[in-house]
Structure 1
Amino acid sequence: MALRACGFIVFRRLASCAPPTDNIQYLLLQTSYGQHHWTPPKGEDDLTTALRETKEEAGLGAEDLQIMEGFLKELHYEVRGRPKEVLYWLAELRDPGTEVTLSNEHQSYRWVQLEDACTLAQHKEMQDTLRAAHRYLEAQQDKQ
């Protein structure tokens, strides 16, 4: 049976004169275990879990996030020889100045632009998901 996890690709928009999608930064957390990999916050099973885990791992609650309707990505990969699937929703941080508070599962966090997020994420599936989120946000911006 596949392991399952769910989480959010959390982003914030910074005020700037640059084009709107150039002002987007993504939140990545660095694990305090294993190879100290970087990922968005995630947990076990569904949207409720994704909200709970994001609160637990990054200190960001449902009141801090605006979930973007229409974006959901499913990743499939192996962890220690077992298949794993992860669902990611996209959520905007309502107040870009909100502080991140890490759990003991993570040792660091960064707000980074797309290409830096992809460099930190390292895994192709996560990089593809971050790029898909960015394309989604660009398409939403074009509609406005």
Structure 2
Amino acid sequence: MSLRACGLIIFRRLREASTPPSSAATAGNNIEYLLLQTSYGTHHWTPPKGHVDPGEDDLQTALRETQEEAGLDPGQFTILEGFRKELNYTVRDRPKTVVYWLAEMKDNNAEVRLSSEHQAFRWLALKEACELSGYQDMQAAMREAHQFLCARG
């Protein structure tokens, strides 16, 4: 039986008070992604995600896990229509599927409150987020999310 987990790639757009909204060509320069560092294993960095509980659908899981792991409730972000990324890989000789949606913070100053599963968090530009995440498939998912955002302007 395959393991299944779901989560959110959470981002925020930074704007300087004196700078008008940027064009689509430069829009990606003001985006930061939230990564959490696990307090177990290799202490890897990942967006909030977790295993699907019995009776939950995938999106319910992503919302619950985000609230549990980062202290962010669904009223603090907006899930963007049109982006859903499914990753498939093997963990301890078992197939695993992880589904991510893309969510934009409504308030850039919202407090992130970590659960005991994580020891640190960072808001990072795409390049740094990819370097910290380490896993090729997660890096590809984040790049795809970034391209999706840049295309939207």
TM-score by length of 2: 0.90
How do residues 63-82 of structure 1 correspond to structure 2 at under 5 angstroms? 63-82=75-94
How do residues 52-67 of structure 1 correspond to structure 2 at under 5 angstroms? 52-67=64-79
Partners of 1:113 and 1:78 lie apart in 2 by 28
Partners of 2:50 and 2:134 lie apart in 1 by 20
Unmatched tracts of structure 1, length 5 or more? none
In the alignment, what sits opposite 1:41?
48
Q: CA deviation at 1:43?
A: 1.5
CA deviation digits over 1:53-83, x for unaligned, max 9? 1001001110001000000000011112211
Residue identity in the other structure for 1:132? E
In the alignment, what sits opposite 1:109?
121
Residue identity in the other structure for 1:38? W
CA deviation digits over 1:82-139, x for unaligned, max 9? 1111000000011011010000000000000000000011110000000000000011
- Residue 82 of structure 2 aligns to a residue whose secondary structure is strand
The answer to whether structure 1 residue 15 and structure 2 residue 37 are counterparts is no
How many residue pairs get matched? 141
CA RMSD of aligned residues (A): 0.9
Out of 100, 121, 124, the residue aligned to residue 112 of structure 2 is: 100
- Residue 97 of structure 2 aligns to a residue whose secondary structure is strand
Q: Name whichever of 113-122 and 76-85 sits farther off.
A: 76-85
Moved over 2 A (4+): 16-20
What percent of counterpart residues are identical? 59
CA deviation digits over 1:12-42, x for unaligned, max 9? 0111346322110000000000000000000
In the alignment, what sits opposite 1:28?
35
Residue identity in the other structure for 1:48? Q
Unmatched tracts of structure 2, length 5 or more? 53-57
Bigger radius of gyration: 2
